[in-house]
Structure 1
């Protein structure tokens, strides 16, 4: 345990402890950054397989590849059996910008599809360190434009697009909306952002000092490792990584912001909520007790995972555009 950090295990719910026990049985040190990034990806994929079993079945799923600014981008459409309206949600997966894919977050996307009664589209953006920031932001922005241009073909409303993501994907969701706002001025077609335990720019905070370790792969060293692989050493304009250095006073879509109270990144969520609401931007903040970072994955054990997706879905539906 790092110096001065809380013993998070003593603060976890019994079900959270159960989920971590299963996690350890699946892959020892699943989130270690003391290996190559190729091994990090393999460990992550192997650990996530179990958590993606079961869950809602789409009415139909479409896999395709889109030629983007940095090469081919695999995407996946999930159409719900019960659908209300023609809104669509671009889901951007987490994994520190280094690991993760469409399969590692499949169940989260399908649960969100069911709760929102909307089409959910996953994007398999290019990963760091081979592709550095802002590649990923530009790819997500490109795909938003592509979805709007091809909306009729996929039976979605070009003026009712939302973004959702967890961890690094939450960062990319907010960053993409800011990038589109800054480049195109009008983002009124974005219904909302569903942001789960994201990092938005803090490099140190109370929660980072108190939480994070082997159990969630977010020790101080881990956080530095991910940032170095994503950012590199030559970027000066970090407005779409350090979103707090960008203008958050206008042009930000309504945000549902959720985090676990044992997450080292929780202060990012709290600060984002405070800034947005001070400037009269609609936002909802929700804390889930006794759970760690990335708890959305553990929906087969944790009721908090289900509730977080349900509550995000409720927020989304409360902003209905049709």
Structure 2
């Protein structure tokens, strides 16, 4: 007899994260369904809905933008520097949004939080979105930005020996797979830390997590995730590519990893599975499970202590890990 997993329909969600979900849902309800809009129109709505949540937060010493050459054309980066101290470590950050939505603007506060809390320069990557481009275009753009940051470290005022790469959701996917690409190209030493926030790590999700967290009451639905995959992949066979589904990859030889894992998320099982794989491969890994948190919960940092705690945990880990890297 097949096991039947029951959903709690969002009643297990932290009250502050529940407020975040309810308020964003109410804002979306003021617009036509995203699925009824063109991709550009859907992006405009998503930007408007997320805008209030990126306001406020840490003030930077400087913020500049420039373009980086990549094999797929120039990519804009936004560079947040929290203080005047020179030769700081850098965190290259890859925003989420199912490879389809969101931007440097929707994730600006996330980047500033890490910059201020860890005292690192944060370089946000404005990679090209799907379905206008498909795998592996955005991934190769991320890899190009890592190489650029390493080569231009002196000009950027950062320490090339202390580079980290991080991202959330689809950005977490490309964080992990970019590290795999660099390792396999003999450049694994460029990165000293990987920060993964509710990352997409497998094109396949277990029936249990679809049933428990893929429906009403949570932040990322099963059908939404499948639509994102359809936008990103060049062909259905890409689902089995380790650079799409890193759960299928050999993960040995990667730098230390931090996994921020919300308890109530369609993707939670993937992070837990990856933690076991990393440990088995001898990769240093630290994980934190945040009770009552959902996908995208970091964006609720202005109202949710659980998000504040997650930022602080990751920032302390990042700072300590990069200090250790400087000592060799």
**Superposition TM-score, scaled by structure 2 size:** 0.91
Match of 2:243 in 1: 240
Match of 1:198 in 2: 199
Asked if the contact 2:87–2:157 (Cα under 8 Å) also holds between the matched residues in 1, the reply is: no
The CA deviation at 1:158 is: 1.6
Q: Which moved more, 1:143-152 or 1:185-194?
A: 185-194
Distance 2:117 2:84 in 1: 10
The CA deviation at 1:244 is: 1.5
Distance 2:230 2:256 in 1: 30
Asked if the contact 2:11–2:217 (Cα under 8 Å) also holds between the matched residues in 1, the reply is: no
Which of 126, 130, 133 is the equivalent residue of 2:132?
130
Asked if the contact 2:71–2:141 (Cα under 8 Å) also holds between the matched residues in 1, the reply is: yes
Q: Which moved more, 1:8-17 or 1:288-297?
A: 8-17
Distance 1:234 1:210 in 2: 26
Asked if the contact 2:166–2:195 (Cα under 8 Å) also holds between the matched residues in 1, the reply is: yes
Q: For residues 131 and 148 of structure 1, do their structure 2 counterparts lie closer, same or farther at Cα, with a shift above 3 Å needed?
A: same
Asked if the contact 2:9–2:217 (Cα under 8 Å) also holds between the matched residues in 1, the reply is: no
The CA deviation at 1:219 is: 2.2
Q: Structure 1, residues 258-302: CA drift from partner, whole Å, max 9, x if none? A: 111110100110011000112221001111111211101011111
The CA deviation at 1:19 is: 1.5
1:200 match: secondary structure: coil
The CA deviation at 1:38 is: 2.0
The CA deviation at 1:66 is: 1.9
1:77 match: secondary structure: strand
The CA deviation at 1:17 is: 1.8
The CA deviation at 1:15 is: 1.2
Distance 2:214 2:170 in 1: 16
Q: For residues 289 and 83 of structure 1, do their structure 2 counterparts lie closer, same or farther at Cα, with a shift above 3 Å needed?
A: farther
Match of 1:298 in 2: 300
Match of 1:253 in 2: 255
Asked if the contact 1:193–1:255 (Cα under 8 Å) also holds between the matched residues in 2, the reply is: yes
Asked if the contact 1:13–1:290 (Cα under 8 Å) also holds between the matched residues in 2, the reply is: yes
Match of 1:157 in 2: 159
Q: Structure 1, residues 214-250: CA drift from partner, whole Å, max 9, x if none? A: 55553222111110110032655722111012111x2
Structure 2, unpaired ranges of 5+: none
Q: Which moved more, 1:308-317 or 1:22-31?
A: 22-31
Q: Which moved more, 1:102-111 or 1:11-20?
A: 11-20
Structure-to-structure mapping, 1:1-322, within 5 angstroms: 5-28=6-29, 32-81=34-83, 83=85, 86-183=88-185, 185-205=186-206, 206-213=208-215, 215-216=217-218, 218-233=220-235, 236=238, 238-248=241-251, 250-319=252-321, 320=323, 321-322=325-326
Question: What RMSD over aligned residues (CA atoms) do the two structures have, in Å?
Answer: 2.0
Distance 2:224 2:35 in 1: 6
Q: For residues 259 and 84 of structure 1, do their structure 2 counterparts lie closer, same or farther at Cα, with a shift above 3 Å needed?
A: farther
**Superposition TM-score, scaled by structure 1 size:** 0.93
Distance 1:264 1:72 in 2: 34
